Structure 1
Amino acid sequence: MSDKNARSLRSESSAVSLNLELANLEHALRGASLLAELLANHDLPDEETQRMAPQCITAQLALVNARLRHVGRVIRGEEDAETLWAPHNAINPSPLPGEDGDVRLVSGSSPPLARSARNTAERKPRARRAGKKRPEKPPTIEEASPAPPGPVAP
């Protein structure tokens, strides 16, 4: 697909289907698994393919690992969903009638996780989440406020 076609398709769909993305990664893992099995059983067609198979498996696993980390950053709100967009995971931002409950990662001002119409999850902005910090150390006994007078609970 040319860059121009990808851009026009991207403008039509500003959301990423988590279901489609995970299915694509599952297929990549299955391909690496099959190649490893063929290599282990010495069933590859020629010596050149047998020599290249370990690098191919390593590259496929590295790609899946990087893409999963990228998906995680988008889900956590550390990156915009547009950075994850690809033709294989493009979906409409709003579910169509009869569509399943696929998780839609929506780009821009929309909530990071937009589910089907009956189940939408909104997340706190990153700045507010980061503002809550734990104290560095717990207060000592002397710093703690005294207990109110009264009987001691068992």
Structure 2
Amino acid sequence: MRDKNARSLRSESSAISLNMELANLEHALRGASLLAELLANHDLPDEETQRMAPHCITAQLALVNARLRQVGRVIRGEEDAETLWAPHNAINPSPLPGDDGDVRLVSKSSPLSARSLRKTVDRKPRARRSVKKRPEKRSTVEDAPPVPPGAAAP
């Protein structure tokens, strides 16, 4: 039943929410951190849980590491965004009114191409830095380093 729901959700959404993906990874890291703290303080409920905790922490960290590398490959264009799709990060490919400006990673096989998506997403303009030419400073007596006592002034 769950697989059927995931497939129908996947067919409706061909975009991935970067905010939701990163939030999910943040939760996994927090879980690993809490488990490590419980282990370090000997606050786990039984011996079996205490024995398995290091393996669970390692597994969570490996998952987060692999997922972050995969997100990086998608952002660099080395991999299709569809490989990141999961029910926790599914989002509508075109922004809806009131969206918070989430970054949408759209699958290449999506009917909404990246080119048309760029037209629908309002991006904040980048602040441009202008290079100002500064007038050259003329050296003055005030700019000169202090003369040590007993030395002759120039």
TM-score of Structure 1 vs Structure 2, range by shorter chain = 0.7 to 0.9
For residues 43 and 18 of structure 1, what CA distance do their matches in structure 2 show?
35
Identity %: 87
For residues 121 and 108 of structure 2, what CA distance do their matches in structure 1 show?
19
Structure with bigger gyration radius: 2
Give the match for residue 98 of structure 1: 98
Give the match for residue 121 of structure 2: 117
List per-residue Cα deviations over 1:20-69 (Å, max 9, x = no partner).
00000000000000000000000000000000000000000000000000
Give the match for residue 132 of structure 2: none
Gaps of 5+ in 2: 125-154
For residues 2 and 97 of structure 1, what CA distance do their matches in structure 2 show?
30
The amino acid that maps onto 2:83 is T
For residues 18 and 85 of structure 2, what CA distance do their matches in structure 1 show?
10
Q: Which has the higher contact order (CA 8 A, sep 6+)?
A: 2
Q: What is the root-mean-square deviation of aligned Cα atoms in Å?
A: 1.8
- Aligned counterparts, 1:4-153, within 5 A: 4-108=4-108, 110-111=113-114, 117-119=121-123
Structure 2 residue matching 1:79: 3-state secondary structure: coil
For residues 101 and 2 of structure 1, what CA distance do their matches in structure 2 show?
30
Pairwise CA distance, 1:72: 0.6
Give the match for residue 133 of structure 2: none
For residues 46 and 52 of structure 1, what CA distance do their matches in structure 2 show?
10
The amino acid that maps onto 1:118 is D
The ranges of structure 1 where at least 4 consecutive aligned residues each deviate by more than 3 angstroms after the TM superposition are: none
Give the match for residue 136 of structure 1: none
Gaps of 5+ in 1: 121-154
The amino acid that maps onto 2:114 is P
Q: TM-score, normalised by structure 2?
A: 0.73
Structure 1 residue matching 2:64: 3-state secondary structure: helix
For residues 53 and 86 of structure 2, what CA distance do their matches in structure 1 show?
27
